[in-house]
Copies of this chain bind each other. A is one copy, B any other.
Amino acid sequence: MSDKTAVATDKAPQPPARFSQGVRKGNILQVAGQVGFDPATGTPVGPGLAEQTLQTLRNVQTVLEEGGSSWADVVMMRVYLTDTAHFAELNKVYDEWFSGIEGPLPARTTIYVGLPAGLLIEIDALAVLD
């Protein structure tokens, strides 16, 4: 008996392939890699890191909420940047975001990778539900 359920919402960007925006099974909710796309247009919200980071965090939150979860359940954030020079600006936006979130902060890993043209950040998240 599988209780696996997929998040499928038009409030977050649509997956470009056969994968789910998020998926829950048991008490685990995994959010797929989100980027700074405006869900309404499917294109990046802006060329800059700050706007893309904010939109990416919003998209992660949308998938969490559509999956019946919230930041309170998130144990891990995986942050993918394209340039080590972006670390300070990421942290500024990230810290402001999480200053508004109550409770223990998620863990995080940040690495520098390649992303499709125009994208400066990608984030996925692992949540453990009550």
A residues touching B (Cβ–Cβ < 8 Å)? 1-6, 15-28, 30-33, 72-73, 75-78, 80, 84, 87, 90-91, 94-95, 98-99, 103-117, 122, 124, 126, 128, 130
Contact of A113 among B24, B111, B116, B117 (CB under 8 A): B111
Contact of A19 among B107, B122, B128 (CB under 8 A): B107
Q: Which residues of B contact A110 (CB under 8 A)?
A: 33
Q: Which residues of B contact A126 (CB under 8 A)?
A: 30, 76
Q: Known: A18-B105, A106-B23. Contact between A115 and B122, CB under 8 A?
A: no
Contact B31 A94 (CB under 8 A): no
Q: Give the distance in Å from the alpha carbon of A3 to the alpha carbon of B73 in the complex.
A: 9
Query: Shortest CB–CB separation between residue A121 and chain B, in angstroms?
Result: 11
Q: Give the distance in Å from the alpha carbon of A126 to the alpha carbon of B124 in the complex.
A: 14
Per CB-CB distance, the 8 closest pairs between chain A and chain B, nearest first, are A112-B114, A33-B109, A32-B107, A6-B104, A19-B108, A17-B91, A25-B128, A18-B98
Contact A128 B26 (CB under 8 A): yes
Contact of A23 among B24, B75, B90 (CB under 8 A): B75
Interface-central residue, A17, A77, A107, A114, by most chain B CB under 10 Å:
A107
